[in-house]
């Protein structure tokens, strides 16, 4: 028996596969050392990958499909349409594929509890731009701080909607915005990612109460989220969305991106750069730089520009 399927769970050397859009899971393991051509990632197979598999029923066995005792074997990983990758913050030369073949990434953030780090968000957005993954930003936990931070919420929307991104406000606790998020996902393969503690697992459960991802608590000592999701896993909601839940991230390093290319993946800077006097332009010191002029005029946010400068300066760790 052989066929093609999608990886829906990665547990180290063991995987669960399903022939999407059907949701009929079966176990699989790798054959030997599968490596993608030109890939330096630590994981040769990622959730969302399309793979070929084979399975032979063991002699005398009554089973008609792969079982945990007799799993299928992944024989090939197909070329990825896109993917989201990050560099380890501790091992700067190593990279990890978070998810592959994603229709849209939904980046979960919270202004507070834990407090948002805009450079961290901007590095995820740049990576999604590099690898052609559409992005929606989900501003979660708004019920906890809207009354005291209405101006900050508006500033956040101004920055990122001005950069061309859709922003959906949600509260997994009250249900606010969950219907809008559910409609935005549709019946597609979607990645939910973000820093630890922003509420990814709670949002999944709000989207479909029958699902049971782990829900964690915030460390009151440092107001940082504790890791609750340790495995990469895809869930299918009752509405037909396939949601990839990734472990909470504490660092996000850029991969295979030259310094002179970074500005190309800030949509608002790319548009303004067409009017720069010099090409190429680093948008730091050159006269006649349209990007710097746009920042001074408030057309490009100073926060996004500062994130860009930080990416230029850092060449080892990105936090």
Shared-domain flag, residues 107 and 125: yes
Shared-domain flag, residues 241 and 112: yes
End-of-domain residue from the set 193, 221, 245: 245
252 found inside a domain: no
The per-residue pLDDT for range 242-266, each reduced to its tens digit, is: 999 987 665 666 777 888 899 999 9
For 283, counting Cβ atoms within 10 Å of its Cβ (0-12 exposed, 13-18 middle, 19+ buried), the class is buried
Shared-domain flag, residues 101 and 237: yes
Range list of β-strands (E), 131-255: 135-139, 166-169, 189-194, 218-219, 224-225, 232-236, 242-245
**pLDDT for residue 59 is more than 50:** yes
The b/e string for 212-249 (b: 16+ C-beta within 10 A; e otherwise) is ebeebebeeeeebbeebbeebbbbbbeeebbbbbbbbb
Residue 189 maps to which CATH number?
3.40.50.300
* Per-residue pLDDT, 318: 41
Residue 212 pLDDT class (50, 70, 90 cuts): confident
For residue 234, what are the domain limits?
83-245
Whether this model's pTM surpasses 0.85: yes
Q: What is the DSSP letter of 63?
A: -
Specify whether the CB–CB gap between 189 and 134 falls below 8 A: no
Q: CA angle at residue 69 from 68 to 70, to 5 degrees? A: 90
Specify whether the CB–CB gap between 204 and 213 falls below 8 A: yes
254 found inside a domain: no
Specify whether the CB–CB gap between 34 and 45 falls below 8 A: yes
The per-residue pLDDT for range 101-137, each reduced to its tens digit, is: 999 999 999 999 889 999 999 999 999 999 999 999 9
CA distance 179 to 237: 13
Specify whether the CB–CB gap between 84 and 133 falls below 8 A: yes
Q: How far is CA 111 from CA 135, 139, 197, 213, 282, in A?
A: 18, 7, 12, 23, 30
CA distance 85 to 88: 10
The b/e string for 47-69 (b: 16+ C-beta within 10 A; e otherwise) is bbbbbebebeeeeeeeeeebeee
Shared-domain flag, residues 72 and 168: no
Shared-domain flag, residues 105 and 44: no
End-of-domain residue from the set 77, 105, 124: 77
Specify whether the CB–CB gap between 194 and 248 falls below 8 A: yes
CA distance 44 to 100: 11
319 found inside a domain: no
Shared-domain flag, residues 58 and 97: no
Residue 65 pLDDT class (50, 70, 90 cuts): confident
End-of-domain residue from the set 245, 269, 299: 245
Shared-domain flag, residues 59 and 124: no
Specify whether the CB–CB gap between 46 and 100 falls below 8 A: yes
* Per-residue pLDDT, 227: 37
* Per-residue pLDDT, 39: 59
251 found inside a domain: no
* Per-residue pLDDT, 246: 84
Q: Which of 94, 96, 109 is nearest to 47 (CA)?
A: 96
Per the DSSP assignment, residues forming a β-bridge with 254 are: none
Q: Mean pLDDT of all residues in the chain?
A: 86
Shared-domain flag, residues 158 and 267: no
**pLDDT for residue 178 is more than 80:** yes
253 found inside a domain: no
CB-based contacts of 237, cutoff 8 Å, min separation 6? 182, 185, 204, 207, 208, 211, 243
Shared-domain flag, residues 45 and 164: no
Residue 46 maps to which CATH number?
2.40.50.140
Residue 301 maps to which CATH number?
1.10.40.50
Shared-domain flag, residues 15 and 163: no
CA distance 130 to 261: 10
30 found inside a domain: yes
CB-based contacts of 179, cutoff 8 Å, min separation 6? none
280 found inside a domain: yes
Shared-domain flag, residues 21 and 149: no
State the Cα torsion 255-47-106-266 to the nearest 10°: 20
**Tokens describing residue 211:** 């699902």
Residue 214 pLDDT class (50, 70, 90 cuts): low
318 found inside a domain: no
Q: How far is CA 187 from CA 131, 184, 236, 239, in A?
A: 22, 9, 9, 7
Query: 6: helix, coil or strand?
Result: strand
Query: 182: helix, coil or strand?
Result: helix
Find how far residue 81's CA is from the centre of its chain: 15
Shared-domain flag, residues 97 and 224: yes
* Per-residue pLDDT, 223: 33
Indicate the number of domains in the chain.
Answer: 3
């Amino acid at each position: 028996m052989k066929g093609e399927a999608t990886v829906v769970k990665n547990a180290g050397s063991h995987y669960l596969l399903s022939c999407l859009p059907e949701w009929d899971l079966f176990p699989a393991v790798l054959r030997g050392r599968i490596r993608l051509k030109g890939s330096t990632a630590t994981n040769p197979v990622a959730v969302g990958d399309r793979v070929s598999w084979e399975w032979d029923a063991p002699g005398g066995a009554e089973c008609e499909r792969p079982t945990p005792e007799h799993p299928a074997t992944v024989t090939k990983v197909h070329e990825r349409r896109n993917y989201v990758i990050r560099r380890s913050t501790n091992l700067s030369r190593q990279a990890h594929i978070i998810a592959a073949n994603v229709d849209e990434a939904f980046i979960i953030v919270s202004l507070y509890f834990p407090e948002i780090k805009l450079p961290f968000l901007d590095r995820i957005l740049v990576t999604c731009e590099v690898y052609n993954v559409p992005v929606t930003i989900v501003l979660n936990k708004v019920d906890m701080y809207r009354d005291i931070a209405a101006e900050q919420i508006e500033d956040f929307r101004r920055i990122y909607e001005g950069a061309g991104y859709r922003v959906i406000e949600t509260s997994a606790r009250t249900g606010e915005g969950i219907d809008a998020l559910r409609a935005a996902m549709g019946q597609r393969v979607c990645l939910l990612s973000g820093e630890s503690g922003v509420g990814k697992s709670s949002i999944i459960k709000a989207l479909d109460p029958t699902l049971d991802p782990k829900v964690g608590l915030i460390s009151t000592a440092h107001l940082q989220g504790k890791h609750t999701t340790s495995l990469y896993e895809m869930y299918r909601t009752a509405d037909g969305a396939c949601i990839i839940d990734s472990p909470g991230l504490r660092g996000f390093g850029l991969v295979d991106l030259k310094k002179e290319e970074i500005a190309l993946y800030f949509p608002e800077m790319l548009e303004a750069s067409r009017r720069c006097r010099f090409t190429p332009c680093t948008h730091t010191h050159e006269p006649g730089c349209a990007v710097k002029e746009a920042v001074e005029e408030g057309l490009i946010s100073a926060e996004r520009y500062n994130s860009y400068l930080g990416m230029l300066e850092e060449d080892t760790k990105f936090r």
